[in-house]
Chains A and B, each alone.
Chain A
Amino acid sequence: MIIGLTQILIFQGLGELFSTFILPGIPGPVIGLVLLLGFLLIKKEVSAHLGLVSDAFTQHLGLLFIPAAVGAILYLPSLKANGVAIVVALLGSLVATFTVSVLTMKCLAKKEKEDSAPS
């Protein structure tokens, strides 16, 4: 557990360094993600330690952005004033995104044996 966490923190630190000195504008953790991915692709395996920590984080990702999202209370007046626009934009964008993504895949996918989904 601690070994995995240490590895992740080292990559996060490397990412922050890259972000500060080489690639400003790209968030450090994302660069850390890419570096760790490269490391895994070279090593060709995920160690049990790393898998354990990563699964825990992925499973409870939502917990981590609660503190920031609660800040929405500071924007309540503006959220209320723009409520309809926000709902239309978010829902419309979802329909468009799902539609374009699946149609692209359907067009480009070679015919393969499919396990079918219930309709």
Chain B
Amino acid sequence: MKPERLPITEIWVYLSGSPLFALVITLLAYQTGLFLYQRWGRNPLANPVGIAIVIVAVTIHLIDMPYAEYFKGAQFVHFLLGTATVSLAVPIYRGIHNIGSRALPLFAALISGGLVSMVSAVGLAMAMGAEPMIVRSMVAKSITAPIAMGVAQSIGASPTLTAVFAVVTGIAGAIMARFILDFWRVKAWWQRGFAIGIGAHGIGTSRAFSVHPEAGAYSGLAMGLHGVVGAFAIPWMLPLIDRLVG
């Protein structure tokens, strides 16, 4: 029998049914994001992750692919989040090595900054009358997204919304940090970097690295420590969050 040529629609059905398709659009979108980011002089507004999220969302909308189906394929990327979280131990270890006499100010800043990031976001969102689900998903938004999503799950918030808020926080933080830090006349690179890492986690950290290596190292340390402390402290504060947010 002669092999019959498959009509294009059947090829399409076959491809879109395998995880390959979701993986390819995820990686292509990320590559495009990185390319545009480089192209626009590493402007924090052109954040590669933000661009990639929009590209994937628009693509699956255009081809009418339900999100659940996309995720079935893309979960192979998603799975690595946990692995990546574990590997954050390495930058924390490298950073912890040379903090020496700065341990006290850094630790105090981490605790106060972390608490303020949570309380102010939840307070403002509630004052503005946001839905309970939105408010709850604000709790972990200043933590690095891979950890924040796990925390969100354990406090009954939406990991997706928390990830989106974390990305927006990172982008806005990378843009605003300079102005706020200059306003307070902060000169020391380690203080600038650490503050950026507390407030704007990974995206802030890559920004800090592009300004000064010491700022980047301290920002990475703050991001890692904030993630760990938050992951232990936030579930413990759950009863309080339940009472406040309802």
Contacts and interface: CB of A to CB of B under 8 A. Distances in A.
B86 A36 contact: yes
Contact of B74 (A66, A74, A109): A66
Interface residues of A, number: 79
B77 A64 contact: yes
B49 to A, nearest CB: 4
Contacts of A91: 172, 176
B94 to A, nearest CB: 7
Contacts of B144: 61
A58 B145 contact: no
Contact of A62 (B49, B85, B182, B232): B49
B104 interface: yes
Contacts of A25: 154, 235-236, 238
Contacts of A1: none
Interface residues of B, number: 115
Interface string A87-118: 01111111111111111111111101011110
A17 interface: no
A101 B78 contact: no
A2 interface: no
- Majority DSSP secondary structure for residues of A touching B: helix
B145 A27 contact: no
A61 B120 contact: no
Interface in B21-69: 22, 26-27, 29-30, 48-49, 52-53, 56-57, 60-61, 67
A22 interface: no
B56 A29 contact: no
Given A69-B167, A104-B108, A98 B154 contact: no
A30 interface: yes
Given A62-B48, A102-B195, A67 B77 contact: yes
Interface of A: 5, 8-9, 11-12, 15, 25-30, 32-34, 36-37, 40-41, 46, 50-51, 53-55, 57-58, 60-75, 78-79, 81-82, 84-86, 88-110, 112, 114-117, 119
22 contacts: A8-B87, A15-B86, A36-B90, A41-B96, A50-B87, A54-B88, A57-B80, A58-B84, A60-B30, A63-B27, A72-B53, A74-B160, A75-B160, A85-B129, A90-B121, A93-B116, A97-B117, A98-B198, A100-B109, A101-B199, A104-B112, A114-B187
